[in-house]
Amino acid sequence: MGTPVPASEDEAFCRYRSPLVSRYASPDMAFNFSEKKKFGTWRRLWLYLAQAEKSLGLSITDEQIKEMEANLDNIDFKMAAEEEKRLRHDVMAHVHTFASCCPKAAGIIHLGATSCYVGDNTDLIVLRDGFNLLLPKLARVISRLADFAEKYASMPTLGFTHYQPAQLTTVGKRCCLWIQDLCMDLHNLERARDELRFRGVKGTTGTQASFLQLFEGDHDKVEELDRLVTAMAGFKRAYIVTGQTYSRKVDVEVLSVLASLGASIHKICTDIRLLANLKEIEEPFEKDQIGSSAMAYKRNPMRSERCCSLARHLMILVMDPLQTASVQWFERTLDDSANRRVCLAEAFLTADIILSTLQNISEGLVVYPKVIARRIQQELPFMATENIIMAMVKAGGNRQDCHEKIRVLSQQAAAVVKQEGGDNDLIARINADPYFRPIQDQLETLLDPASFTGRASQQVARFLKEEVRPVLTPYQNMLGVKIELSV
């Protein structure tokens, strides 16, 4: 047996709490997946159904409607829990709970509907609202990184392929690679949100049979009921065909775009972590922040590490709806329910957290130009050898002779770097060799880092103008919000 918890202990600390909510997520996203939002939306959906049924001629009174309207947020959660324990049915538990404070409307609550009328339609509303919370955050991250890319569009930096030194790029151009992925994510999140439809008013197996009976065989009224409720819930369209549930392929699409966002953020934050190790770029580091409990000098990239850690969780969550969609027998089975309670909420909560964290990072990225310049100087002499050979040929030299001279001197310089741990002294060796006297006064120009970055700065300017700034226009009034992390 476990040790009894003292009665005075704060109850909140005596049970497991998901760190997604207790430690990281924003209040808005936490509320979006709260029971208050869920069950309050159920009541609003029952109200919409009653209002629409009344408008189409069913015997529902204004008094019943007003009673429902007055009690939308008057939810007795204790009673609902007791009812669910008794009935083993969450929707009927809340029908009874709603009816207890709406005695006049009790007989018409949930009229003609099945549980998925409130369950699935609420999920679709919550998913839509979740996207609406994420999209401005993603736009803000793109905006902050766009400002960073513009500022450092022309600053040369060592490029890497295979994490080996490669041709120079610029700090801003590298950032544009991050932004491009995030712009794809912005488009995909917008598309996934805009393609969401309402399940609507479809009945037990999606045939609308119960509603056709209510309206005495009037197909037009049943279709109008579906249209009215869909519009009341803020959707432009409903799925024309459903089983008892909307297709679980919808959840696959939703979590796929969030998983893809997770992959983008993982890549960005991995790059930042690698750059932090090189001491070229660092995430923000607070005045009193401790990097290590043992090594006081350390400045660990903990924000980027958190993003990578949570992004991995986000990326694997898509496996849940994939497997759920694959085993939905005929019109539905109930083995989706418990799984969806976890994976849908966790996906949005996790995406919310990593976007907030990445925004905080992008608002305080620190660049160390002298470290970047020093690393360029360590590698640039080798990269400049082709330019030096061409300059010697123009000065009247023989290419093959020059190539052999450069090859020997390069190997000697490489030995100093690799075997002795010294600096790259190739240029000093070239300056000391009489053979290269015809171009020694050109070496400074030939080694100008800016001449090795190609069209990087021009690409940054065009990319930001043509592809980035336009996609941020719909979010212009929401870009000013700053993020302060609590942990």
**What contacts 333, CB < 8 A, 6 or more positions away?**
327
Interior angle at CA 142, CA 170 and CA 475, nearest 5: 145
pLDDT band at 312 (very low <50, low <70, confident <90, very high): very high
Nearest to 283 by CA among 366, 356, 358: 366
What domains appear along the chain, each with residue ranges and CATH number? Answer: 34-108 (1.10.275.10), 115-199+242-285+299-367 (1.20.200.10), 385-446 (1.10.40)
The length of the chain is: 487
- CA dist 226 and 245 (Å) reads 15
Amino acid present at 466: E
Nearest to 144 by CA among 475, 453, 458: 475
pLDDT band at 284 (very low <50, low <70, confident <90, very high): confident
| Catalytic residue (choose from 59, 162, 293, 486) | 162
DSSP secondary structure letter of residue 366 = E
- CA dist 465 and 463 (Å) reads 5
Pairing of strands 156-161, 281-282: unpaired
292 is a catalytic site residue: yes
Q: Which residues lie across from 338 on neighbouring strands?
A: none
Residues 32 and 133: beta-carbon distance below 8 Å: yes
Number of H helices, E strands in the chain: 21, 4
- CA dist 32 and 296 (Å) reads 40
Residues 97 and 80: beta-carbon distance below 8 Å: yes
Residue 123, token pair as written in the block: 């999920």
Other CB atoms within 10 Å distance of the CB of residue 7: 6
| Catalytic residue (choose from 292, 309, 326, 451) | 292
> pLDDT digit string (tens) for 48-103?
999 999 999 999 999 999 999 999 999 999 999 999 999 999 999 999 999 999 99
pTM flag (> 0.95) = no
Share of the chain above pLDDT 90, in %: 84
Average pLDDT over residues 282-294: 62
> pLDDT digit string (tens) for 132-177?
999 999 999 999 999 999 999 999 999 999 999 989 999 999 999 9
110 is a catalytic site residue: no
> pLDDT digit string (tens) for 316-361?
999 999 999 999 999 999 999 999 999 999 999 999 999 999 999 9
